[in-house]
Chain A
């Protein structure tokens, strides 16, 4: 069975995308720097979600997981947004490189000439404008290459059957995981941590990864539930939904673990150049947003999704997923804004609308890719295992 997007849903998504883009323009009118910061937020977040979906597919190839095959085309389709997201992200990076904006103020030659920390801490070796641009191209190019490779092999398997595509995909996945392990960390230093370039945290890459992986799993769960509600996934049973919700729950807790590990060590040691990062967030107007974000991203899943029945209740899982996504949007907001704006800017309605607009574009790209291939892989060796999935 093939998927086709209902015209009504397409119109709603188109309208949301239009409103979102107008809101983005609105943020530029409010403050040009704020506009760029919002663009970076959405460009990074949705590219990362798309990347994490491809990572999910690769992990299951290497781990020889079979339970996900029934909805494998969903993360595959999410991965097809990567070129679009990468183009937008590249736009923001080029904007910084050509000094159109200074979200990353270390790119400014004047800062590089005079900043003591930049010149004495060894950051100078890594944070070089050209090197930084080349790294960006390598990350984005590499991710798109691997995501498309896995997708192409999966489509080839539909036509040819047999085990050869699967075995090749296994090998490419292993390579992707190695590439991803390094680049998911370094890209988060380059695009996000260097917004506060005086500061550093060795845990940062993992913290960012946990955040966008939860977002990707949640998006996947929402898409699968939506498809199921529209009659597309009859072969998926409660166990699949339970497992997806379980992953959303588990990685929410994992995210909290990393956030707290980073926070507690910095709070405890109280070294000026480290604690400054959290002073910017807890001693300013951002404080209520931080508390709200922690409540949504930790306490909410802990209380609501702990119970087995909650994870098997489709409506509850759907609502919980939307709340978790909002929580991680606020998380992304507090990651980027204090460093990029150097002052307190509350989460504005324009910012939220811009995010919804980007989500609509992301969904349009995903649905487009979803409609291009059979909704269930035809010859995947673990297809039957997935249909029998029972926990």
Chain B
């Protein structure tokens, strides 16, 4: 069953933000905002829950540090003890400064890739997936506010149009909701 949707299009991020503030103040529920780049403050206006990606990043980073130290300990201390620069103590701890650069790099590597993978998984963005934005220009120069009729019972989407046009929208078009998953 298709759901009636209103797409309000803005060319300016601040006008888009202020229009959203106005809608939220009126008690209208905004389903999604599509923008070419992050609009500062929009997550607060739309009450988007705080991201947990930073917590995930910490654990990926800790995994990276552990793996790196384990790898270097096995290679340079356990399997084939290395004596470099007059430091034949064969100990991970006393030779720690030498292991810091590699440990740091692998921490960053695992944390970055882990975050990307988590982000793709959480947003169902994989290579080859169809685009979910209802208006292709939202990847270029348009800021698109999506309002779904079913989210706002008792409100006529048509009545909202003129209100949004007064708040800086350049165009309001009717659409149907294509993706439900978020």
User: Could you list which residues of chain A lie within 8 angstroms of chain B, going by C-beta atoms?
Assistant: 260, 263-264, 267-270, 390-391
Please, which residue of chain A has its CB at the minimum distance from the CB of B40? A390
B98 within 8 A of A: yes
Contacts of A268 in B (CB 8 A): 85, 97-98
Task: Name the residue of chain A whose CB is nearest to the CB of B86.
Answer: A270
Determine how close the nearest CB of chain A comes to the CB of B102; give it in whole angstroms.
Answer: 12
Q: Are B100 and A269 in contact (CB under 8 A)?
A: no
| B41 CB-CB contact with A under 8 Å | yes
State whether B85 touches A270 (Cβ < 8 A): yes
Question: Are B41's CB and A269's CB within 8 A?
Answer: no
12 contacts between A and B (CB under 8 A): A260-B97, A263-B97, A264-B100, A264-B101, A267-B97, A268-B97, A268-B98, A269-B85, A270-B85, A270-B87, A390-B41, A391-B40
Known A390-B40, A390-B41, A391-B40: A264·B86 in contact at CB below 8 Å: no
Residues of chain B contacted by A263 (CB below 8 angstroms): 97
- Known contacts A260-B100, A267-B97, A391-B40; 9 additional CB pairs below 8 A are A260-B97, A263-B97, A264-B97, A264-B98, A264-B100, A264-B101, A270-B86, A390-B40, A390-B41
Q: How far is the CB of B118 from chain A (nearest CB, A)?
A: 19
Question: In whole angstroms, what is the CA distance A263 to B85 when docked?
Answer: 15
B interface, how many residues as a size bin? under 10
- Shortest beta-carbon distance from B147 to chain A in Å: 25
**Dominant SS at the A interface?**
helix
Chain B residues 66-98 with CB under 8 Å of chain A are: 85-87, 97-98
Q: Which residues of B contact A260 (CB under 8 A)?
A: 97, 100
Chain A residue numbers with a CB within 8 Å of B85 are: 268-270
Chain A residues with Cβ below 8 Å from B41 are 390
On chain B, the residues within 8 Å of A391 by CB distance are 40
Q: Which residues of B contact A269 (CB under 8 A)?
A: 85
What residues of chain A lie closer than 8 Å to B86, measured between beta carbons?
Answer: 270
Chain A hits for B97, CB < 8 A? 260, 263-264, 267-268
> B100: which A residues are within 8 A, CB to CB?
260, 264
Task: Report the bound CA distance from A391 to B40 in whole Å.
Answer: 6
> B40, B86, B97 — which one has the most chain A CB atoms within 10 A of its CB?
B97
CB closest residue in chain B, given A269: B85
Q: How far is the CB of B169 from chain A (nearest CB, A)?
A: 22
| Chain A residue contacts of B101, Cβ below 8 A | 264
Interchain nearest-CB distance for B146 vs A (Å):
24
- CB neighbours (8 Å) of A270 from chain B are 85-87
Min distance, Cβ A258 to any Cβ of chain B, angstroms:
14
- CB neighbours (8 Å) of A390 from chain B are 40-41
Chain B residue nearest to A391 (CB atoms) is B40
A279, chain B: closest CB distance, angstroms: 14
* Distance between Cα atoms of A287 and B41 in the complex (Å): 47
Q: How far is the CB of A297 from chain B (nearest CB, A)?
A: 16
Q: Fill in one digit per residue for B32-73: 1 if any A CB lies within 8 Å of its CB, else 0.
A: 000000001100000000000000000000000000000000
Shortest beta-carbon distance from A182 to chain B in Å: 29
Shortest distance from the beta carbon of A278 to any chain B beta carbon, whole Å: 11
Least distance between B32 CB and chain A CB atoms (Å): 22
CA distance A264 to B40 in the complex (A): 41
Per-residue CB proximity of B138-158 to A under 8 Å, as 1/0? 000000000000000000000
Query: Which 10 A/B pairs are nearest by Cβ-Cβ distance?
Result: A264-B97, A268-B85, A267-B97, A270-B85, A270-B86, A390-B40, A268-B98, A390-B41, A391-B40, A269-B85
- Closest Cβ of chain B to A300, distance in Å, is 18
Min CB gap A43→B, angstroms: 33
Residues of A within 8 A of B87 (CB): 270
Cα-based distance from A267 to B87 in the complex (angstroms): 10
Q: How far is the CA of A260 from the CA of B104 in the complex (A)?
A: 12
Chain A residues lying within 8 Å of B98, measured Cβ to Cβ, are 264, 268
A390 to B85, CA, bound (A): 51
Least CB distance, B168 to chain A, in whole angstroms: 17
Cα(A391)–Cα(B38), bound, Å: 11
- Report B10-39 CB contacts with A as 1/0, cut-off 8 Å: 000000000000000000000000000000
| B-side contacts of A264, CB under 8 Å | 97-98, 100-101
B98: nearest residue on chain A (CB-CB)?
A: A268
User: In chain B, what residue has the closest Cβ to A264?
Assistant: B97
Q: Smallest CB–CB gap between B138 and chain A, Å? A: 22
Nearest Cβ on chain A to B152's Cβ, whole angstroms: 28
Q: In the complex, what distance in Å separates the CA atom of A269 from the CA atom of B41? A: 50
Distance of A15 Cα from B16 Cα, bound (Å):
55
| Distance A264 CA – B87 CA, assembled complex (angstroms) | 13
Of A264, A268, A269, most buried by chain B (CB within 10 Å of CB) is A268
Residue of A nearest to B84 (CB): A268
